[in-house]
Amino acid sequence: MKCPKCGFDNPEDTLFCKKCDWRVDIPYVPERKTNASMYCAIALALGVIASALYFMKWYVFAAAVGAIGMVVGGYAINVPRLLNSDNKAVLVTIAGVGLILSMVGFMLGLYMAVL
């Protein structure tokens, strides 16, 4: 598996490049850097909104926003892994918090809406 980012020749079963940590099955797109922070910010915002809606007792909306937040958060948490940026850990943390808040909003919202 030749790394699409740095060209390093990795063993066949490698998922992340031994040299630059790039996922070798994903094409290298340099301009993803800006998208990463954007998606992480959206994931966090959706998580906060989903939780807020739950506490405002708008359970159906909390579940809906939480569902979207989980999709965006699940994507956002993986995007920074594709980067070699210094704030990788910060972005993953932000996306992770957003993902957790979305899951909480979704599950609690759905639970309360169904009951």
- CB of 80: closest distance to Zn ion in angstroms? 16
Whichever of 82 and 108 has its CB closer to Zn ion, that residue is 82
- CB of 16: closest distance to Zn ion in angstroms? 9
Secondary structure of residue 63 in the 3-state scheme: helix
Tell me which residues in 39-58 interact with Zn ion (CB under 5 A).
none
Q: Does 20 bind Zn ion (CB under 5 A)?
A: yes
* Among positions 2, 9, 15, 19, the unique one binding Zn ion when judged by CB under 5 A: 19
Whichever of 8 and 58 has its CB closer to Zn ion, that residue is 8
Q: Does 3 bind Zn ion (CB under 5 A)?
A: yes
Q: Does 17 bind Zn ion (CB under 5 A)?
A: yes
What does the DSSP assignment read for the chain?
Answer: -B-TTT--B--TT-SB-TTT--BTTS---TTHHHHHHHHHHHHHHHHHHHHHHHHTT-HHHHHHHHHHHHHHHHHHTTGGGG---TTHHHHHHHHHHHHHHHHHHHHHHHHHHH-
Site residues, Zn ion (CB under 5 A): 3, 5-6, 8, 17, 19-20, 22
